Structure 1
Amino acid sequence: MEDALRHIYRLAETGDGWVSNTAVATQLDVTRATVSSTFDALATRGLVEREAYRPVRLTEAGETAALDVVRRHRLVETLLVEMFDYAMSEVDVEADRLEHHLSDRLCREIERALGMPSADPHGDPIPDAALDVEHGDLIPLFDVDEAAVVEVVRILLRDDETLDELVSVGIEPSAVLTLTERTPLGTVVVTVSGTDQQTTLPEAVASAILVESGGG
């Protein structure tokens, strides 16, 4: 149920708050029937608003419970990258194993050891000890104007191969990009600041890279 809560929260962050059975099943790599049972259990505990055959939405209690899991997950991801040299593509699965076993005290100690990080390696904001979380005013890379200079803040993708490809060309949180061209095929071409390398990104990938304007 903690895994389901975390994924409902994450999917709701960038949507309208309502999350489908299919979307969570895809994230958890389980059947929709399994997710339906989990949704029923969460609804019984008052953690989601639930109607049969309809998407769910976190209740206030559900959001609090989800943020607690999200905090632990994102702190573990950050710890793995900062202290143990994990790649961004490697941390999600590892953190999924560890997140359920962290106490509040250990979370606070991890924060202190890492210098109170505000975001994990993907750029996802880390809730603080009070479970408050800040969301910046971000837009998808695909939606920025041609010739715009932007800074990558957050990458929503969790496909390991795609993440590795992005990092290999310098596209990761804090990278400054120029949207060089929009092609007739619906892709965008970007240049990473400080290099001459151009990278072509399909719409699905560029839409999952969140940026803020004025980079560099």
Structure 2
Amino acid sequence: ALKYPRLSPFVIPQNSYWGFTTKPIVTLSVDLIMVVRSGLLEVTVNDFSKTMLRNRQVFTSIDPLLFHGLKEDFNKGILNIPLHEGARTFLDRDEPSFLERYAELGGVILSIVIAIFSGLVSLTKWQAQKKKDKIDEFYEDLMNIKNTIPKIKQIQEGMTQVKRVQRAQNKAFEMLIAEKLVANDSFRIYMELSKETINELRGKMRLIKMKQTKATS
């Protein structure tokens, strides 16, 4: 016991282990030691120590020898092994703060919140890009119509193209109401450009009509 301070003389009483000890046995006892991994949280070890020591009577009622000698005021100075910080804070009555106790849970919650926020941002960007792609389709169709204006030879061709632009305008407004398009600068520019295209088509039809009138006169 002098050489190894954690050992102390101990007598196992007669008939302590269900008749296996037929007479008292002189032996050595050692403090109860629980080995944990180095990365185990202080709060976890603190709570475990609290549970074990404060429920000593319950465990003793199960088996009087199970926690014989288990106490909260043992001499930490005789230890020649590292004492976990969680056990030290319990023995020193240095209770972990609210932040220390729930730091891990808070980290998980924060990660979830960040993931949800990132997902919402990505979803918003995706929806905005989807709406932009839609208005780009209207622009492309309108530019194709504008490119055909110089090639129009008949009034009926011009009327067909005017109706095509007007149908596209109506469709754009319907999608705006259904929130599939956004009333931003791109949408307003498209509407102005579509009106300009209709005016160009009507101007082209007037020129064709004038030529036809001159040809018949």
When the two structures are superposed, what TM-score results if normalisation uses the length of structure 2? Answer: 0.17
Which has the larger strand fraction?
Answer: 1
Greater CA radius of gyration, 1 or 2? 2
- Greater relative contact order (Cα 8 A, min sep 6): structure 1 or 2? 1
TM-score norm. by structure 1 comes to: 0.17
